[in-house]
Amino acid sequence: MIVLGIESTCDETSCSIVKDGRDILSNVVSSQIDLHAQYGGVVPELSCRRHVDVIIPVLERCLDQAGITLQEIDLIAVAYGPGLIGALLIGVTAAKALSIALNKPFIGVNHVEAHLYAALMSHHEDVEFPCLGVVLSGGHTALVTMKDIGTYALIGETVDDAIGEAFDKVAKQLGLPYPGGPQIESLATKGNPDAFPFKPGKVKGHSLKFSFSGLKTAVLYTLQGQNAKKSLPITLTEQTMCDIAASFQQAALTDVVDKVVRAADLSGSTTVIFGGGVTNNKALRLMMHERAPHLTALWPAFGLSLDNAAMIAGLGYHTFLNKGSGDAMDLNAATRIPFE
Ligand code: KG4
Ligand code: ZN
């Protein structure tokens, strides 16, 4: 089955052709980083305007690279949420329009679940369910038990910032451009992770819930301590920047790995599936490997960690087969979708 995937939940416009849920024939991603970098984060109105501008060229390039025509598509899968409403509407409307024009079914896919599917797509051996799913992205931080593809139960999430958001905000405090995750990771390789005693957040009575806002504020106080007047630009040595990045990253990632190990233990899972942009972080992968050798960790291929339409097409294939039909035209874009 040839599936066209469409992704436009936030700041990437992507179209992909995937055969039978796994075989990626093309995966074209147009990133808006250049557009939002100057504002230090995603500006929703600019995001949806850029999606409008590029969705058709991205679709054309994706068909071209896959060497197929529109008529050869059997199913259109689109990320219908969660995400920014204006951005989502562009992808959902494109999918519906193609579905009507080609007389082919379309199916809505949950973007967060697709991040977990990205790791399954990247591994060709069969995965034994149930397992633990860990979503670490710019918008979500969640622990779920997965009984199968499409059957999830939420067991932990963040009560404030998502982990990627914390990386982005700390980077902004350090004067680094958006997105901050890769910047922090790169500085951290040259820093001392024990230089600053940052502590991961605890949520009283909830051992699987995350909180990153206190950690972000601790970094801010450390920076302001360097310069009492907030309005003045903070001047830090290159080494202090690296030490702050390394100490922040260590605190945040240690917290993630601790909770993943606890959740795997509590849920009796030995396989852990990771998804989301933060899984690009090599220090996280190494820490998980060193701290939890008893767990089998499945990571998305590096090209499938960040937002992309291949994971949407891949999961769309399974959603369509499970459901036995496509979605109706009244399927709406959804800014929030509960995990279940
Ligand atoms: O999954 P994603 O592409 O978008 C969402 O669905 O949110 O994730 C983007 C997030 C950003 O917050 C970015 O800073 C973070 O992933 N990120 C990283 C790294 N690469 C991207 N965070 C830490 N280390 C990285 N290497
Ligand atoms: Zn995402």
Could you tell me if 107 and 27 lie in one domain?
yes
Distance CA 256, CA 251 (A): 9
176 Cα: distance to centroid of ligand 1 (angstroms): 15
Tell whether the model's pLDDT for residue 228 goes beyond 60: no
302 Cα: distance to centroid of ligand 2 (angstroms): 14
Could you tell me if 267 and 152 lie in one domain?
yes
Ligand 1 near 182 CB (within 6 A): yes
Residue 256 belongs to some domain of the structure: yes
Q: In angstroms, what is the C-alpha Rg of the chain?
A: 20
Could you tell me if 166 and 295 lie in one domain?
yes
For the CA of 138, the nearest ligand: 1
57 Cα: distance to centroid of ligand 2 (angstroms): 21
CA distances 332 to 39, 53, 79, 159, 162, Å, are: 29, 21, 11, 26, 25
74 Cα: distance to centroid of ligand 1 (angstroms): 31
Could you tell me if 203 and 293 lie in one domain?
yes
Residue 335 belongs to some domain of the structure: no
The model's pLDDT over 159-172, given as tens digits with 9 standing for 90+, comes to 999 999 999 999 99
Atom of ligand 1 lying closest to residue 168 CA: 14
Tell whether the model's pLDDT for residue 301 goes beyond 80: yes
Distance CA 296, CA 221 (A): 38
The model's pLDDT over 197-219, given as tens digits with 9 standing for 90+, comes to 999 889 999 999 999 999 999 99
Q: What is the pLDDT of residue 270?
A: 95
Domain count, the chain: 2
Residue 128 is classified by DSSP as P
Going by C-alpha positions, the residue among 198, 298, 196, 201 that lies closest to residue 239 is 196
Could you tell me if 137 and 274 lie in one domain?
yes
Could you tell me if 243 and 135 lie in one domain?
yes
As a whole number, mean pLDDT of residues 305-315 equals 98
* CATH value at residue 55: 3.30.420.40
Residue 121 belongs to some domain of the structure: no
Residue 338 belongs to some domain of the structure: no
User: Which domain range does residue 280 map to?
Assistant: 127-299
Distance CA 248, CA 307 (A): 24
Could you tell me if 281 and 218 lie in one domain?
yes
Residue 291 belongs to some domain of the structure: yes
The model's pLDDT over 315-335, given as tens digits with 9 standing for 90+, comes to 999 999 999 999 999 999 999
The model's pLDDT over 258-287, given as tens digits with 9 standing for 90+, comes to 999 999 999 999 999 999 999 999 999 999
Atom of ligand 1 lying closest to residue 280 CA: 26
Could you tell me if 71 and 189 lie in one domain?
no
Ligand 1 near 141 CB (within 6 A): no
181 Cα: distance to centroid of ligand 1 (angstroms): 6
Could you tell me if 43 and 185 lie in one domain?
no
Residue 122 belongs to some domain of the structure: no
Question: Could you please report the per-residue DSSP string of 194-215?
Answer: TSS-------TT-TT-B--HHH
Q: What is the pLDDT of residue 227?
A: 59
Band of residue 232 on the pLDDT scale cut at 50, 70, 90: low
- Mutation test residue for ligand 1: of 84, 137, 173, the one with most atoms within 8 Å of CB: 137
Residue 61 belongs to some domain of the structure: yes
CA distances 75 to 8, 56, 57, 79, 108, Å, are: 18, 18, 20, 13, 11
Could you tell me if 202 and 169 lie in one domain?
yes
Q: What is the pLDDT of residue 2?
A: 98
Ligand 1 near 212 CB (within 6 A): no
Could you tell me if 273 and 311 lie in one domain?
no
Q: What is the value of pTM for the model shown?
A: 0.95
Pairing type for strands 12-19 and 2-7 reads: antiparallel
In sequence order, what are the residues at sequence separation of 6 or more whose Cβ sits closer than 8 angstroms to the Cβ of residue 237? none
Residue 336 belongs to some domain of the structure: no
The model's pLDDT over 27-40, given as tens digits with 9 standing for 90+, comes to 999 999 999 988 88
Could you tell me if 240 and 94 lie in one domain?
no
Distance CA 184, CA 188 (A): 6
Distance CA 307, CA 312 (A): 9
